[in-house]
Amino acid sequence: MKWDCIIVDDTEIDNLTVVSYVKRFPFFNLIGAYQSSREALSAIEKNKVDVIFLDIDMPNYNGIEVRKRALDIPACVFITSHTEYAIEGFELDALDYIVKPLTFDRFTKTVKRIEDFMDLRNKAELFEASIGGDAIFIKEGHSETKVKLTDVLYLEALKNYTLIATPEKKHRVLLNIGMLLKDDNFRSFVRVHRGFAVQKHFIKKISAQEIELADRIAIPIGRNYKDNLSQLLS
């Protein structure tokens, strides 16, 4: 996943330093780096921003005032020479507070904190609601997609993600397949491979090596999951 971010610091050398650090992490999409708080606020109004790296001591609007006007940005990191603003910064839901001079090692720790925060946030937003236990809403960007569980052909593991495959589309959610299968809403699925779980009513044929689903979709059977076939045949 990529996170759209901006940098706001009126000191040119500090601004360029943060830019150089941000560019070392491919999951950051740098929208802009601003030395003016007014320009930054204008950019925030026009763009979706996930992460803001924000100086505090600036003309016009200082960093605290900028944050108050942009509380909808999920991850705010203050980078400043002024330690006296720390308490106020955290009261504005700052994710981190870095005291200058900034070093790459310290910035890397902040990036790890951002990763963990965004991971938890996405997991918390994965299931916005269920309807009668037979449908879920999946958060995809700024919209929600309703998926009827009875339409899901199979689940496919992809590192920390799971693909929820319907005949029309594959929806990606930030939750591993093992956690999904523990949810009562997914009790009609059976895991048949380290990377796959299938829904019983879509199974057309079972052979020694694979399961054929509707639309001639072939799912491999893992050696360690063959005992689960008895559930499919019962």
The per-residue pLDDT for range 106-136, each reduced to its tens digit, is 999 999 999 988 876 666 555 444 444 577 7
pLDDT of 146 higher than 90: no
Per-residue pLDDT, averaged over 199-210, amounts to 86
Sheet holding 28-34, edge to edge: 28-34, 3-8, 51-54, 75-80, 96-99
Q: Yes or no: say if 155 and 196 are a contact pair by the CB < 8 Å rule.
A: yes
pLDDT tens, position by position, 163-203: 899 988 888 877 778 878 877 778 888 898 888 999 888 88
Does an H or E element contain 138, and which?
strand 135-140
Q: What is the spatial distance between Cα 5 and Cα 133, in angstroms, rounded to a whole number?
A: 37
CATH 2.40.50.1020 in the chain, residue ranges: 132-233
Alpha-carbon Rg for the chain, nearest whole angstrom, is 23
**3-state SS class at 5:** strand
Specify the fold of 132-233. Answer: OB fold (Dihydrolipoamide Acetyltransferase, E2P) (2.40.50)
Domain covering 3-123 in this structure, CATH number:
3.40.50.2300
CATH 3.40.50.2300 in the chain, residue ranges: 3-123
